[in-house]
Chains A and B, each alone.
Chain A
Amino acid sequence: MEFKFTVENHEKVVKLFDNYPTKKAAVMPVLYIAQEQNGYISGEVIKEVSTILEISEEDVMGVVTFYTMYHQHMPGKYHLQVCTNVSCMLRGAYDIWEAVKTKTGLKNGETSADGLFSLEEVECMGSCGTAPMIAVNEDFHENLTKETALELIDSLK
Chain B
Amino acid sequence: MEKIVLPEIENLHKIDVYRANGGYEAIKKALATTPDEIIDTVKKSGLRGRGGAAFSCGLKWSFMPKTTDKPKYLCVNGDESEPGSFKDRQIFEYNPHQCIEGILIASYAIGANSAYVYIRGEYHKWIKLFQKALDDAYDAGLVGEKMKTTFGTKFHVNIYVHKGAGAYICGEESSLMNSIEGKRGYPRVKPPFPAQNGLWGNPTTINNVETLTNVPAIINKGWEWFSKIGAEKHPGTILYGVSGHVNKPGVYELPSGTLLTDIIYNYAGGVPGNKKIKCVIPGGSSMPPLRGDQLEGIAMDADSLKAAGSSIGTAGIMVMDEDTDLVRVLARISKFYYHESCGQCTPCREGTGWMLKILNRMAAGQGQKDDIELLLSVANNIDGNTICALGEAAAWPVKFMVSRFREEFESRMNNSLDHPSLNKVHSMRHSKITVE
Contacts and interface: CB of A to CB of B under 8 A. Distances in A.
A11 B278 CA distance: 56
Contact of B84 (A24, A69, A86, A138): A86
Interface string B161-187: 011111110000000000111111100
A69 B243 contact: no
Given A68-B167, A87-B318, A91-B244, A22 B182 contact: yes
B360 to A, nearest CB: 14
A94 to B, nearest CB: 9
B359 to A, nearest CB: 13
A21 B324 CA distance: 50
A63 B85 contact: no
From A84, A85, A89, A129, residue with most partner B Cβ within 10 Å: A129
B29 interface: no
B184 A126 contact: no
Contacts of A129: 86, 241-243, 249-251
Given A21-B200, A123-B339, A68 B82 contact: no
B124 A90 contact: no
B125 A138 contact: yes
B361 to A, nearest CB: 18
B244 A86 contact: yes
Contacts of B251: 129
Interface stretch (B212-220, B328-336, B382-390): B328-336
Contacts of B83: 85-87, 123-124, 128
B336 to A, nearest CB: 6
B166 A22 contact: no
B332 A85 contact: yes
Contacts of B244: 86-87, 90-91, 128
Contact of B85 (A29, A32, A126): A126
Contact of B163 (A22, A24, A32): A32
B316 to A, nearest CB: 7
Interface string B129-151: 00000000000000000000000
A157 to B, nearest CB: 22
Interface residues of B, number: 53
Interface stretch (B57-65, B115-123, B411-419): B115-123
B120 A126 contact: yes
Contacts of A28: 162-165, 179, 182
A55 B120 CA distance: 24
Nearest to B186: A66
A140 B125 contact: yes
Contacts of B285: 85-86, 124
Contacts of A84: 332
B378 to A, nearest CB: 20
A53 B181 CA distance: 13
B86 A127 contact: yes
Nearest to A126: B86
Contacts of A89: 328-329, 332
B98 to A, nearest CB: 20
Interface string A22-55: 1011111101100000000000000000000101
Contacts of A67: 121, 164-167, 185
A19 B121 CA distance: 18
A90 B163 CA distance: 29
Given A126-B80, A128-B86, A90 B245 contact: yes
Contacts of B85: 124, 126, 128
Interface in A54-95: 55, 59, 62-63, 66-70, 84-87, 89-91
A73 to B, nearest CB: 16
Given A67-B121, A68-B167, A86-B244, A25 B182 contact: yes
A150 interface: no
Contacts of A24: 181-183
A119 to B, nearest CB: 16
5 contacts: A66-B342, A67-B165, A87-B318, A90-B245, A126-B120
